[in-house]
Amino acid sequence: MREKILIIDDDHGVLKLMKYVLEREKFSVVTCSCGEDGIEKARESKPDLIILDLKLPDMHGLDILKILKKDKTTSYIPVIILTAQGKSEMDVVRGLEMGAEDYIVKPPRLREFVSRVRVVLRRLYYNGEVEDVLERGMFYINLSRNIIKVNGQEIKGLTQKEFDLLCILIRKSGQVLKHEYLLETVWGYESNVNTQTLKTHIKNLRRKLPTEAKNKIQTIRGIGYRLEE
């Protein structure tokens, strides 16, 4: 599965360069050049990562970051902030304190840029270090306490793998998640795990969820699974 990255920057030269480099590395890239459009695209496209310039024509990047982190539909998305060389370090410090994962100085050194992007994605999505609480529609999950609720009712009896599967499906609701992606993310391609193991866990997960929740888990035959938004 290709991770989706949203870049919000009004410097068209830098924007074009970052898009080219990331697409060459097999990422899916969405771009925009103003804050309002960026916020809307973050809500609609649910990217895996946002790269946000601090200086935009309509809004300051820190104001955008604040909005994204307060909105339940975008608060879980990791953000890397962009800052021009020689600009105030205080903006960078404030951005990190407000929840940004990292920062990059423009113009970016390309290999370092790609490396930082990969490190953030790997740390957050492959090590499970995403936001502590997930809320999507009828679902509420507290990751640190291993609690899941559907429409306010706590669901008990899930195994850790079932819990992890549901977290991934909810976090990426609306997206088709391939068998390979789920196996790598939840099991790490353990030698004794295959697609049949995944199917069995999905079957058990559906059995333990109430009807309105289990019907949200869609099988995409021959490809994987999707949680309906």
Residue-by-residue DSSP string for 129-191: -S-SEEEETTEEEETTTTEEEETTEEP----HHHHHHHHHHHHTTTS-EEHHHHIIIII-S-T
Span between the terminal Cα atoms of the chain, in Å: 19
Token digits for 36? 């309002």
CA separation for the pair 201, 210 (Å, rounded)? 16
pLDDT, position 188? 61
Q: Which residues of 195-223 are buried (b: 16+ CB within 10 A; e: fewer)?
A: eeebeebbebbbebbeeebeebbeeeeee
- Structural domain boundaries of the chain? 4-126, 133-227
pLDDT, position 123? 67
| Three-class secondary structure of residue 46 per DSSP | coil
pLDDT, position 131? 57
CATH architecture of 4-126: 3-Layer(aba) Sandwich (3.40)
| Three-class secondary structure of residue 89 per DSSP | helix
pLDDT, position 103? 87
Residue type, 221: R
pLDDT, position 36? 94
Reported as type and span, the H/E element at residue 217 is: strand 217-220
CA separation for the pair 8, 59 (Å, rounded)? 11
pLDDT, position 26? 85
Q: What is the DSSP letter of 71?
A: S
| Three-class secondary structure of residue 11 per DSSP | coil
pLDDT, position 127? 53
> 133-227, what's its fold?
Arc Repressor Mutant, subunit A (1.10.10)
The tens-digit pLDDT sequence of the chain (229 residues) is 578 899 999 999 999 999 999 999 888 899 999 999 999 999 888 888 999 999 899 999 999 999 999 988 888 889 999 988 666 678 888 888 888 888 888 888 888 899 889 878 876 665 555 556 778 889 998 876 778 899 999 998 888 888 889 988 988 888 898 888 888 777 765 555 678 888 989 999 999 999 999 999 999 999 999 999 8
Angle at 22 between CA 52 and CA 105, to 5 degrees: 40
Contact 118, 125 (CB under 8 A): no
